[in-house]
Amino acid sequence: MKILALDTSGGNCSACLLEDDKIVSEFSLSAGVTHSQTLLPIVDTLNQFSNIDISEVDVFACSTGPGSFTGLRIGIATVKGFALSLEKKVIGVPTLLGLAYNIPYFDGLICSVLDAKNNNVYAGIYRYQEGVPVLVGDYITESSDKLIEILEEKMGAFVDMQLAKVMFVGNGAITYREKFVAAFGKQAHFASFSFNRELASSIALVAWNRAKNGDFDDYDTLVPMYLKKSQAERMLEGENA
């Protein structure tokens, strides 16, 4: 099974071609150029160097957010365009789950955290079960302080206190590192620098795990997961209040 996965949720524009559970090729670019300019050339380059035609792809996958409002729409529209024209399957993957997949294994909690500015975060707390990260509770759109409270509660529920630790991953892990260290001390662990980026290879692996079980999304319901309204929408609502 061949899967083409895209991640356009953040500043890093990434594409990956996966054949079963093996990466054939992956290309990432963080050059400050808009995803609308770089995404299709990246996909074309990926296919050329892989010597695989786009028509040979079985499943098209993409990150669905949270993340850049414009970036998410570009990625999803591209995947829908390919899949509809070629009559192939689609899979959408939450950005926070993709980040959790950046961590090959951790026996405590994994906290995927994105900086939402002004001391706010988007976060998902995961724990490995049967070889894959599984979301514990709900997605979190709160202050970094509230996230710490939630993590303290979940870590306090561990029967084996040696497992009461947390791995932080994502750009929020960098932004709020000092605060997390102050709160959790040696219980706080941090992903290596390169794993804090959103990676299409992780999106592809999530998609492969779903596809082999016949779990696909519908074209009509594949939409961005924003978690909160855009700044423009919030400003407009404020003006109309």
Q: Which residues contact 94 (CB under 8 A, 6 or more apart)?
A: 63, 64, 65, 66, 124, 139, 225
Q: Are 120 and 73 in contact (CB under 8 A)?
A: no
pLDDT of 42-59, one tens digit each? Answer: 999 998 899 999 999 999
pLDDT of 135-187, one tens digit each? Answer: 999 999 999 999 999 999 999 888 788 889 999 999 999 999 999 999 999 99
For residue 63, which of 30, 116, 100 has the smallest C-alpha distance? 100
Strand order in the sheet with 2-7: 22-29, 13-19, 2-7, 59-65, 89-94
> What pTM did the predictor assign?
0.92
Domain 2-96+198-240 has CATH 1.20.1050.10: no
Domain extents in the chain: 2-96+198-240, 103-190
Token pair 């559970």: residue: 21
- pLDDT digit of tens for each residue in the chain (241 aa)? 999 999 999 988 999 999 998 999 999 988 766 888 899 999 999 988 999 999 999 999 999 999 999 999 999 999 999 999 999 999 999 999 999 999 999 999 999 999 999 999 999 999 999 999 999 999 999 999 999 999 999 998 887 888 899 999 999 999 999 999 999 999 999 999 989 999 999 999 999 999 999 999 999 889 999 876 544 444 444 544 4
The alpha helices in 159-199, defined as continuous H runs, are: 171-175, 177-184
Q: At 232, phi and psi to the nearest 5?
A: -60, -40
Q: At 215, phi and psi to the nearest 5?
A: -100, 100
- Cis bond upstream, residue 224 (ω within 30): no
Domain 103-190 has CATH 3.40.50.1110: no
Q: Are 78 and 53 in contact (CB under 8 A)?
A: no
Distance in angstroms (rounded) separating the CA atoms of residues 15 and 11: 13
